[in-house]
Amino acid sequence: MGKKWRWGVILDAGSSGTRLHIYRWLDPAKALKEASYEEVYSLPNIVTKDKWTKKIRPGISTFGDRPEDVGPEHLQELVERALDVIPDDKHADTPIYLMATAGMRLLPPTQQRAVITETCSYFRANTRFFLPNCDTHIQVIPGETEGLYGWIAANYLLGGFDNPEGHDHGKGHHTYGFLDMGGASAQIAFAPNSTVAEEHGNDLKLLRMRSLNGSPREYKVFTSTWLGFGVNQARGRYVKALVDEFLINGEHEVPDPCLPRGLRTNEKGEIVKGTSKELELVGTGEFDECLRRTKPLLGKNMPCNDKPCLLNGQHVPPIDFDVNHFVGVSEYWHTTHGVFSSKNDDAAYDFNTYQKKVVEFCSQRWEDIESNVEARKKDHGKEAQEACFKASWLISVLHEGIGVPRYGIENTPIPGFNVTKGIGEAAKEKGFLSPFQAADEVNDVEISWTLGKMVLYAAGQIPPKDNYRLPVGFGSNTNGVPPDFQHAGSSYNVTSSIGGDEDDWSDTAEDLIDHAKSKSTSGFFFFLLIFMFIAFLLRKRDRRMRLYGKVNKVLRRRRRPGSPRKGGFGISSITNKLFGRGPYHYERVLEEGDVDQFELGDASSDEGDNSDSSGGRSRVGRSSGLATPKLNVGSFDDLKKHAHPTGTGNALDRSGLVVRTESRERLFPQMLNAGRRSRAASPTRLKSPLMSPVTED
């Protein structure tokens, strides 16, 4: 079960909130050593867990006029979760990213820069995560980049990359299109068929990744974004059009066909009760009229300078829906699987069935909807208020804007075709036959563009095969490395150490502790006893002490603050017998009068280039903050040969064992064996950078 993990942290700073995502994957050298034949030709296996994600509200863009508060008032909670999940000794090699999307794009450039600068400063001051370059790690990303990352994530999870034969949609096409919609913007990304790709080559992005064996993977993808076409921004434009048309001087009520009958809200969507003189939107529950009024918001009448165009006069190459099968996430999922669906409703999307549900729902009186919704889930109230407009906007964007065929009218899907609940298996078995399908996750992993970024980063850590030295990343569709090429941000190291038994047992212990913490109290101690028995089998004392530290850390977390420590024969006495005396019983073994011969040595750190594609590491976050006692050997000329400032050479020299041993022989021969036990167990020595060669984790 030995696992040497690499970690990555990325924060998705959207318009409504910021969401933390933590991912991990095996070191490429370790993964290749253990890979099956199929895995050798696949992309790195990225792992995440539900508890490794966390979302807070509101969006980071709300700090535009007070950027100094973004750290303590917004990011702190997310940073603490990341620090708690990722092992301390992995922090320096764990990249951290914050990538802001549509909400931040709407801010003035000066406010964007202020928030970004404060965010980077906060990360550097409060973490040791790998952050060599603020401009690449903390940024407002274009919508096209967000769409490309989402396209990577969807195809990675569905299997379009690693199993082309199993996902053949015809004409040699095996990847899936990607649709995303948030509160402020919407994205599209897809790989056109070969004919369109040749005709519209200048419109495409060249994406390059690597399989585990180092062989290149190249794809040509079109990606575009529509800023202002997210549901919240579209709703704002819709309300403004209603007010301009229907508001009469001296009145304050405006009819709204996209609200259920009897529902009254203000312009912000807050329910108005009782009498009020502020502007009120009064629901009439006329969904056909709602659809008619949302269509003009698509901007289909805007001039198209580069045909063909879809929304707002923006060019998009022709979409062949026979082979381009799209996955819709975020609002596409929530709007089709929110208040309109039940727990047992997992059938594939078709226009006819969906619109019937929407019309039935939106024609009800608000009192009836409210009572039914509260019986299901209280926090669905706000969702129910907005459901009719969101459904109308989704239908308009999908079918009137993008041109997705209306399954249920224009075509008939396979009867009973179930795709949403087990979308991974359905994609493998059926090839994802519908031109459009809403999805939220695949095999319990969320389809998030942040995953696409981490897949690209992990692929960049794989050494290239033979002479295929072109970097991992994306840019203009030209040969070689175009000027606008965006590197993955990672680097590979051919001589990277795989790690030995100690790394394997350490990671195994971490997994065991993680599993035990999720169990009941009795189950926790049962797993803990098993863990300590395994630790006892590891005969080397330094390994046992590392494991003891992990157990002790967990025990301190399990004990409630302020609760007394129990004496007698307990866990503490057992661990003392297994591991020896713990770190709180450090024995002083310096000879009398030796204090002046020891001084604190400066901790050194490697410096390297800070470019995205370089193999160097920044000074930021690399130093452990610990200094190792260093013997002042001024009068011992014959001992100078053992000192090595760079940390290379013989392992005994680096760890200082030769110096200490010869020093004792010269000063007090009878003290030769004194104190060796406590020195081996010293927590400071174990953490010293001089103990062993520095390796990439």
Write the pLDDT tens digit of every residue in 312-357.
999 999 999 988 999 999 999 999 988 887 655 556 788 888 999 9
Distance (Å, whole) CA 311 – CA 181:
14
Name the residue among 234, 258, 423 with its Cα closest to residue 331: 234
DSSP state of 315: B
Residue 527's pLDDT is 63
Positive/negative CA dihedral, 615, 619, 623, 629: positive
Is 342 a member of any domain? no
Same-domain check for residues 67 and 199: yes
Residue 308, Cβ neighbours under 10 Å: how many? 12
SS3 call for 139:
strand
Q: What is the pLDDT of residue 616?
A: 40
Task: Tell me, yes or no, whether 275 lies in a domain.
Answer: no
Answer whether residue 82 is part of any domain: yes
Q: pLDDT-derived band of residue 277, with 50, 70 and 90 as boundaries?
A: confident
409 neighbors 352 (Cβ within 8 angstroms): yes
The DSSP symbol for 570 reads S
Q: How confident is the model at residue 172 (pLDDT cuts 50, 70, 90)?
A: confident
Half-sphere exposure of residue 15: CA atoms within 13 angstroms, side-chain side = 20
Distance CA 604, CA 608 (A): 13
Is there a domain that residue 312 lies in? no
Interatomic CA distance for residues 177 and 210, integer angstroms: 21
CATH label of the domain that carries residue 455: 3.30.420.40
Q: How far apart are CA 272 and CA 263, in angstroms?
A: 8
Q: Answer with the one of 551, 584, 617 that is the final residue of a domain.
A: 584
Question: Does residue 211 form part of some domain?
Answer: yes
Domain end call among 584, 608, 636 = 584
- Contact between 451 and 23 under an 8 Å Cβ cutoff? The reply is yes
pLDDT number for residue 686:
34
Task: Report how far residue 316's alpha carbon sits from residue 307's, in angstroms, rounded to the nearest whole number.
Answer: 8
Q: What percent of the chain has pLDDT over 90?
A: 53
> Whole-angstrom Cα distance, residue 120 to residue 127?
11
Per the CB < 8 A criterion, the answer to whether 584 and 682 are in contact is no
Q: What is the pTM of this model?
A: 0.73
Q: For every residue of 412-436, which 3-state class applies, written as one string?
A: CCCCCCECCCCHHHHHHHHCCCCCE
- 96 and 145 both lie in a single domain: yes
Alpha-carbon span 25 to 5, nearest angstrom: 5
Model confidence pLDDT, tens digit, residues 22-42: 999 999 999 999 999 999 999
Q: Are residues 549 and 677 in the same domain?
A: no
pLDDT tens-place string over residues 190-213: 999 999 999 999 999 999 999 999
Angle at 473 between CA 468 and CA 475, to 5 degrees: 105
Q: Are residues 579 and 609 in the same domain?
A: no
User: Do 82 and 11 share a structural domain?
Assistant: yes
Element (H, E) at 445: strand 445-446
User: What pLDDT was estimated at residue 413?
Assistant: 43
Asked if the structure places residue 398 within a domain, the reply is no
Q: What is the pLDDT of residues 96-121, one digit of tens each?
A: 999 999 889 989 999 999 999 999 99
At 85-95, the pLDDT tens digits run: 999 999 999 99
232: part of which helix (H) or strand (E)? helix 231-246
Identified catalytic residue from 146, 331, 386, 446: 146
At 446-469, the pLDDT tens digits run: 999 999 999 999 999 999 988 788
In a domain, 358, yes or no: no
d(CA 178, CA 325): 9
SS3 97: strand
The DSSP H or E segment spanning 19 is strand 18-26
User: Same structural domain for residues 75 and 155?
Assistant: yes
pLDDT at 444: 87
Domain range for residue 208? 5-227+446-487
Count of domains forming the chain: 3
User: Taking a C-beta distance cutoff of 8 angstroms, is the pair 652, 659 a contact?
Assistant: no
pLDDT tens per residue, range 459-507? 999 999 887 889 999 999 998 999 999 999 998 865 444 444 445 555 5
pLDDT of residue 581: 44
Shared-domain flag, residues 605 and 578: no
Taking CA atoms, 556 is separated from 495, 551, 552, 561, 566, in Å, by 38, 9, 6, 9, 13
Give the whole-angstrom CA distance, residue 472 versus residue 152.
13
Is 90 exceeded by the pLDDT of residue 289?
A: yes
From 584, 611, 629, the end of a domain falls on 584
Q: How many whole angstroms separate alpha carbon 229 and alpha carbon 200?
A: 25
Could you tell me if residue 146 is inside a domain?
A: yes
What pLDDT is recorded for position 467?
77
Asked whether the predicted pLDDT for residue 697 surpasses 60, the reply is no
User: What DSSP assignment string belongs to 201-213?
Assistant: GGGPEEEEEE-TT
40 and 182 both lie in a single domain: yes
Residue 568 confidence (pLDDT) above 50: no
Known catalytic membership, residue 146: yes
- On whether both 603 and 531 belong to a single domain, the answer is no
DSSP state, residue 69: G
Does 158 lie in the same domain as 33? yes
What is the C-alpha separation between 436 and 447, in angstroms, rounded? 15
Q: Same domain for 574 and 615?
A: no
Do both 531 and 640 map to the same domain? no
